[in-house]
Amino acid sequence: MDFYLGLAQIIGVHTILGLSAYVVMLTGQLSLAQAGFFAIGAYVAGMLTVLAGFHIVPAMLVGAVLAGLMAFIVGFPALRVKGLMLVIATLAFGEFVRLFFFNFDYQISKGGITVGPLGGEGFRQIRFFPENGWTSLDVMLFVWAVVIIVMAALWWMDRSRAGAVLRAVGEDELAAQSAGINLTVVKVAAMTAGGFIAGLGGGIYAHYTTHIEHLNFGVILATFAIAYPILGGLSNVFGTLVAVIFIQGVLVEGLRFMGDWRNLLFGALIVLAMNVRPRGLFDERATALLKGLFTGRGHART
Amino acid sequence: MEDFLFDLIDLVQSIADGLLFGTTYAMIGIGFTLIFGVMDKLNMSYAAAAIAGAYSSIAILAVVPAPAPVAFFIAAIAAGLFGYVIYLLCFRFIPLASPLATLMATVGMLLLIDEIIVHETDGMPQPYPALFDDVMVEFGPFGLRGDLMFVFAVSVVSMAVLLYLIYRTRLGIATRAVSQQPVAAQLCGIGLERTNAMTFVITGVLGGIAGAMIGAAVGVLSPLLSIPFTVKGLIVTVIGGLGSIPGAIIAGLLVGAFENTFQFLRGVTERDMYVMLLLFVFLFLRPGGIFSPPDGRD
């Protein structure tokens, strides 16, 4: 049972991570820094609960706000220039954050033991959940409560004017600009929101694994983050959730018997999927088809 | 005063070593920039393919023993082949209208190449042959490492050959025509796909030489090299100006010198952070890079 609860926690956290990349991707941008924002959220929230004795919720919020702020600072110069510049700037920033935590020591003595991040050794003993008597089930429910809040917020945003503006920029920048949309403001806002959401995810991640280190937040995690919305498609938030369940539940857990070869498969699968379905596994047509099946109309609209 | 002088000598020495090694960054940067120029797309797996080329030469040398120059040659050929394979898998069949899909495919390719290397070598660093690594040319208090000078010489010659190819041959004219106006180039009878494929092969060969030179200068190849070289190659392209070859050369030398200076001042674990800060300084102050392309051309 604990195995499935753990899996549900992983899927939940990765869904938050995927959604953080989803927001940025709605504007047609690709951010490889989501792992970096995730790391900022994880370290800040972990330090606040362990070193400063915060409750997890305010700690996560502070971590997320800081991550959002960093996203704003990174996104602003990169997005002023050109689309592809953001990919480079965010890749560099993600590695920068990882190297920063690789070199980051801040330990204090607490109750006879030293706690806090210690460079390459990582940050051990983030024990908020066990200290406060949360069971695996409580943690799982907490993770999914956050997932549902984030998903609902994004779902609502998608239905509102803000969503239409984001998608307009993503579809055709020139047309959006002609309609009086300030491209930089929209993209930077999406980037900031993405950073905030990734920070939230990082905050939870730090607490359920209880041990984080810089290697957890490398390019592979950043690739996972963008792979979810790309595979799931950008038609709605559920595509990302389905992609996370598929990758984490089926590929990562289901293919354990393949050992080493599983890692090879991930890269190969992305290459294959992009050739076969460049607009994502669940693109507009597939979603319309599914909708048709469930509402009994039988035929897709497009 | 004496100590200060010693530090200064070490600092100048670091900068000199960095400049010599910087030519490898310049080559990787040129590869990124050329592909960006003709296709308007990033090939994220380029540096990984370059390292993979160097790995292939080790694999072949393990079967057929040969001297180091042969290894470098094999690395170049293998990486050229990888370039073509990447073109086929990540660019050829993905519609032009889905830039994100191409980008994502190359990121997948980067992970795939990395994992194949880890799988084949069990993640262990592999020794790589070098030339002139026992030579040391002394200038008063300074010394230039023979292997680094060899790396520098090979890189400069390869870049010169590449510049000749681009600016003086029909193939180069076709490449530049496609990079300026694909439609007009097609109307003039230039095969778009053939030119694109050739660009991938040529940049692949250049990358293979860069990968071999990285192996020769560092002494080992490890899977830990590909991400840093990807990041630094991309930083070089941004600092030099996306699409600019002279910019990539100058930025490569700049990044090499900058990195070695900070390795001397702050240690090896922190040096890459400062290279990334340099990128952000450029993004703020000169976002178009040293040689920014003229306005109005996307």
A246 within domain boundaries: no
pLDDT of A109 > 90? The answer is no
Question: Which pLDDT tens digit goes with each residue over B258-279?
Answer: 999 998 888 888 888 999 999 9
Interface probe, candidates A74, A90, A271, chain B, greatest B C-beta count within 10 A: A271
Query: Which domains, ranges and CATH numbers included, belong to chain B?
Result: 2-285 (1.10.3470)
Shortest distance between the Cα of A105 and any Cα of chain B, in A, equals 13
* B287 contacts in chain A (CB < 8 Å): 77, 80-81, 85
Q: How many CB contacts within 8 angstroms connect chain A with chain B? A: 135
Cβ pair B108:A80 closer than 8 A: no
CB of B47 within 8 Å of any CB in chain A?
A: no
Pairwise CA distance, residues A147 & A219, whole Å:
23
C-beta of residue B129 within 8 angstroms of C-beta of residue B216: yes
Candidates A172, A251, A270: best to mutate against B (most CBs of B within 10 A) is A270
What is the three-class DSSP state of A217?
helix
Residue A235 lies in a domain: no
For residue A299, pLDDT over 60 is answered with no
Task: Give the tens place of pLDDT for each residue, B18-75.
Answer: 898 899 999 999 999 988 888 888 899 999 999 999 999 988 888 888 888 888 999 9
pLDDT value at B181 more than 80: yes
Residue A121, in any domain of the structure: yes
More confident call, A175 vs A299:
A175
Is ipTM beyond 0.90?
A: no
**Residue range A40-82, pLDDT digits in tens:** 999 999 999 988 888 999 999 999 999 999 999 988 887 877 6
Q: Is residue A119 part of a domain?
A: yes
Does the beta-carbon distance from A77 to B107 stay under 8 Å?
no
Task: Tell me which chain B residues have a C-beta less than 8 angstroms from the C-beta of A80.
Answer: 287
Across the interface, whether the CB atoms of A271 and B112 are under 8 A apart is answered yes
Tally of structural domains, chain A = 1
Distance from C-alpha of B50 to C-alpha of A2, rounded to nearest angstrom: 44
> What is the C-alpha separation between A14 and A244, in angstroms, rounded?
7
Measured distance CA(A226)–CA(A264) in Å, rounded: 18
Q: Report d(CA B166, CA B179) in Å as an integer.
A: 12
Average pLDDT for residues A234-262, to the nearest whole number?
Answer: 82
Q: Is B145 helix (H, G, I), strand (E, B) or coil?
A: strand
A54: Cβ contacts below 8 Å, ≥ 6 apart: A48, A62
Q: Examine residue A228 and state whether it is found in any structural domain, yes or no.
A: no
Q: Indicate the pTM of the whole model.
A: 0.88
Q: In this structure, is residue A239 part of a structural domain?
A: no
- Whether A132 maps to a domain, the answer reads yes
The parent domain of residue A106 ranges over: 2-217
* Contacts of residue A64, Cβ cutoff 8 Å, sequence gap at least 6: A41, A196, A197, A199, A200, A203
What CA–CA distance (Å, rounded) separates A107 from B241? 42
d(CA B114, CA B126) in angstroms, rounded, equals 14
Please tell me the distance from the alpha carbon of residue A71 to that of residue A74, in angstroms, as a whole number: 5
Nearest CA-CA partner of B211 in B221, B198, B196: B221
Asked if residues B235 and A92 have their Cβ atoms less than 8 Å apart, the reply is yes
User: Residue A130: inside a domain, yes or no?
Assistant: yes
Separation in Å, CA of A21 to nearest CA in chain B = 13
